[in-house]
Structure 1
Amino acid sequence: MSTGNDRFRDSARAAESAMRQVFPHTPLQRNALLSDRFGADIWLKREDLSPVRSYKLRGACNAMRKQAGQELFVCASAGNHAQGVAFMCQHLSVRGVIFMPVTTPQQKIQKTRMFGGERIEIHLVGDYFDDTLAAAQDWCAQRGGYFLSPFDDLDVIEGQASVAVEIEDQLGRAPDMVVLPVGGGGMSSGVASYFGDRTRGLFVEPAGGACLRAALAAGHPVTLPHVDTFVDGAAVGRIGEKTYDLLRDTALSDVIVLSEDRICTTMIEMLNVEGIVLEPAGALSVEALSEMASQIRGKTVVCVTSGGNFDFERLPEVKERAQRYLGVKKYLILRLPQRPGALREFLEVLGPDDDIARFEYLKKSARNFGSVLLGIETRDADNFVRLFAHLDEAGFIYRDITNDETLSQFLI
């Protein structure tokens, strides 16, 4: 007797088959670095290598191909869904109206225009995705067209589940675990539904957009009071109703929440060591491995690297965040005596691996002391223990403002 899960798997397989007329499958690659580090068989499902550099093309392809005769599609997107819809508008020779947040990285806006060409128009509305979503839905209600949700649509979910179809075919079986980034829940709910109880799903969210964890804790979808847009591909303030229904039985222990700064360390390592360009959301699944190192040892684990649409103008910020998380860069307010030799005395306190990355007087008119904003980089976080001890011995007055959000926002 056929079950609902069997029917879903059949539908996902049909969706995956139809996609081959539009784009090739993405590779599943074993990663030796991560496998050796964690004593596991770690594979990366490289959705960052799709034609639009994210898995979002899958949902757009499946949903739009099912709307035969529809000539106008409307969507809201933080960037990746927009590119998928634009790509399919060009492929199907239909029109698209795409709403994106004003804060969307320029790289994603430009790529959307490139894929859609004259068949699309872009509206930049709102600072947060949920504001953009509301604007797109209002426009569609007033002017018509088919509104295509980036995640809360059963055809989109079915299309995203094709990721699991390919993983199973490429691996030759279902993996022991699959690590999935979560934004609105389209891909994570689709992949988890396809594998069912054959594979343990682990779900990863950025701290500034942990809408799945909030929904599971409340027992229903809730709207987050604030969303950090840094991980733009997963910065969603409210998980979808349909996606939540598919994920509602997820154990809270299977949801991992990572700080935005921490995610940057994986982005830097993947770029420098592996030559893999990942956007913040695309690095979520890889960074989560260290959270469950004891659980994955000896297991076959697939991490879905969900996207690689990264604007390299953001690289200095990513490096900065990674350094601060690792503790190798700090910012201090130093009270420096206004007398000859004071600066030399401070410089003599620095160790051989300490480097001044920023030096700025904040109040140059002080008669006895001047406040200096210092940025210091070092090779080992433990060097700061020595530095602070030497500053104390020398009688310098200082304040570490690295993790002071208010001061950092205005001074750094």
Structure 2
Amino acid sequence: MTRFADDARSATESLRGLFPATPLQRNDFLSDRHGADIWLKREDLTPVRSYKLRGAITAMRRMRAADPRLDHFVCASAGNHAQGVAYACREFGVRGTIFMPVTTPQQKIDKTRAFGGAQVDIRLTGDWFDQTLAAAQAFCAEAGARFLAPFDDADVILGQASVAVEMLDQLGRAPDLVVLPVGGGGLAAGIAGVLADRAPGTQLRFVEPAGGASLTAALAAGAPVTLPRVNSFVDGAAVARIGALPFARLAGVDPAQVLLAPEDRICGTMIEMLNVEGIVLEPAGALSIDVLPQLAPDIAGKTVVCVTSGGNFDFERLPEVRERAQRFAGRKKYFILRLPQRPGALRDFLGLLGPTDDIARFEYLKKSARNFGSVLIGIETAEAENFARLEAALLEAGFVWRDITEDETLAEFLI
């Protein structure tokens, strides 16, 4: 691994002409909460607000060094990788053709275009990423361009390894523990490679979104496997299949080192970091912080580095994030209430609400019988325990209701 760590340092030094090292910041709020010395490696503060820039620049530089005639690169991405490639194309003065799904939010398209300027051509193709990827690869073959993979590439992994080189230099010592997000595995493989040589005593914990646990599945099978279903909410890390090259470097990981983060819980972490610390994180960027409560018994008094991998968050998603955070915390629920069709029935129901209970949604669905109507009602409250009191009061008053908060089928159609 010595050669890899040396190459990673060279790659890190090559980046300095384009952007400064991202900050390594001690976080007093998290440190006090967990009784540990917790530092955040702020990859959300690169010029494109994610670590993806490192791999794109490093791979493009090394490919062009091997073949100076290369002047056209292609990628498929709906987010951070696209922005990193666009930035690199502008810096190196080469052409870039970036394929993005038709469903990509306009904000991400605009940012990619802003980073790449006249050097990039953005093509919106396919409703699903697999369709976009196939179109990009077909175009690449026809155009004689070079495809730049988001994580399954040795040069990309080397570029991401620069995060670890900076971290060790900035901290001035080896941390006891580094917590890493995992999607396709490029960042995790690169950092793990450097630490294995430069800080072999440092422990690692890998965090995946619960709805996209591709490393967990690969470790169980002994090889990369394709997940049958992926929850795309954590779009920066929700990958159906971990890369073959990253997994080759991570195959020896103990499955106990891999933690899963529920998507709704991540939302609570994002909201807290925004409200308390003023730090804007995308869902994938919050993964490493989200699992700290799980690690609390093991990290007291230790030095811990959490890699916050990105901050490309569209604030139009904030209501959804807040909603999911409240539901996970048990402070918001949805009910279908069978309401008698008589004067005063609604007033009777409202009289059962507590002083911090708030109706956030009220919608008549249909009459389910001559004398009753079905109502969809959403309630927010200050403390999760308040729902036990409310449900007891409903029962005593003779109301009939159904809690559909966790019913995925009904929630998809009604909420």
Partner of 1:334: 337
Give the partner amino acid of 2:206: F
Q: In the aligned structure 1, how far is the partner of 2:201 from the partner of 2:135? A: 40
Identify if the C-alpha distance between structure 1 residues 354 and 40 changes in structure 2 by more than 3 Å, giving closer, same or farther: same
Give the partner amino acid of 1:16: T
Report deviation, 1:130.
3.9
Partner of 2:57: 61
Query: Structure 2 regions of 5+ residues with no counterpart?
Result: none
Q: In the aligned structure 2, how far is the partner of 1:10 from the partner of 1:186? A: 18
Report deviation, 1:355.
0.2
Partner of 1:267: 270
Give the partner amino acid of 1:97: T
Partner of 2:45: 49
Partner of 2:108: 108
Q: In the aligned structure 1, how far is the partner of 2:127 from the partner of 2:225? A: 19
Report deviation, 1:101.
3.0
SS of the aligned residue for 2:63 comes to coil
Report deviation, 1:228.
1.1
Q: In the aligned structure 2, how far is the partner of 1:127 from the partner of 1:228? A: 16
- The yes-or-no answer on 1:36 pairing with 2:32 is yes
Q: In the aligned structure 2, how far is the partner of 1:411 from the partner of 1:390? A: 25
Give the partner amino acid of 1:80: N
CA contact (8 A) 1:107 1:310 kept: no
SS of the aligned residue for 1:385 comes to helix
Identify if the C-alpha distance between structure 1 residues 125 and 293 changes in structure 2 by more than 3 Å, giving closer, same or farther: farther
**Superimposed CA distance per residue, residues 22-54 of structure 1 (whole angstroms, 9 cap, x where no aligned partner):** 111100000001101111110000000000000
Partner of 2:134: 134
CA contact (8 A) 1:30 1:43 kept: yes
Report deviation, 1:366.
5.0
Query: Structure 1 regions of 5+ residues with no counterpart?
Result: none
**Superimposed CA distance per residue, residues 320-349 of structure 1 (whole angstroms, 9 cap, x where no aligned partner):** 000000000000000000001100110011
Q: Using the TM superposition, name which of 98-107 and 82-91 deviates more.
A: 98-107
Any residues of structure 2 matched to 1:140-159 within 5 Å, and which?
A: 140-159=140-159
Partner of 1:405: 408
**Superimposed CA distance per residue, residues 207-231 of structure 1 (whole angstroms, 9 cap, x where no aligned partner):** 1111010000110000000111111
Partner of 1:313: 316
SS of the aligned residue for 1:152 comes to coil
Q: In the aligned structure 2, how far is the partner of 1:250 from the partner of 1:174? A: 20
Give the TM-score normalised by the residue count of structure 2: 0.96
Q: In the aligned structure 1, how far is the partner of 2:344 from the partner of 2:96? A: 66
CA contact (8 A) 1:128 1:229 kept: no
Give the partner amino acid of 1:357: A
Partner of 1:27: 23
SS of the aligned residue for 1:233 comes to coil
Partner of 2:9: 13
In the comparison of the two structures, how many residue pairs are matched? 408
CA contact (8 A) 1:104 1:232 kept: no
Q: Using the TM superposition, name which of 14-23 and 124-133 deviates more.
A: 124-133
- The yes-or-no answer on 1:194 pairing with 2:197 is no
Q: Using the TM superposition, name which of 62-71 and 389-398 deviates more.
A: 62-71
Q: Using the TM superposition, name which of 108-117 and 323-332 deviates more.
A: 108-117
Report deviation, 1:124.
2.8
SS of the aligned residue for 2:354 comes to coil
SS of the aligned residue for 1:232 comes to coil
Q: Percent identity?
A: 70
Give the partner amino acid of 2:22: T
Report deviation, 1:144.
1.8
Give the TM-score normalised by the residue count of structure 1: 0.97
CA contact (8 A) 1:125 1:132 kept: yes
Counterpart among 295, 298, 302 of residue 298 in structure 2: 295
Give the partner amino acid of 2:85: V
RMSD of Structure 2 on Structure 1 (CA): 1.2
CA contact (8 A) 1:128 1:227 kept: no
Partner of 1:383: 386
Report deviation, 1:298.
1.3
Report deviation, 1:406.
0.2
CA contact (8 A) 1:178 1:302 kept: yes
Report deviation, 1:183.
0.8
Report deviation, 1:125.
3.2
Counterpart among 203, 209, 218 of residue 221 in structure 2: 218
Q: Using the TM superposition, name which of 356-365 and 51-60 deviates more.
A: 356-365
Give the partner amino acid of 2:33: R
Q: In the aligned structure 2, how far is the partner of 1:13 from the partner of 1:64? A: 17
Report deviation, 1:292.
1.2
SS of the aligned residue for 1:314 comes to helix
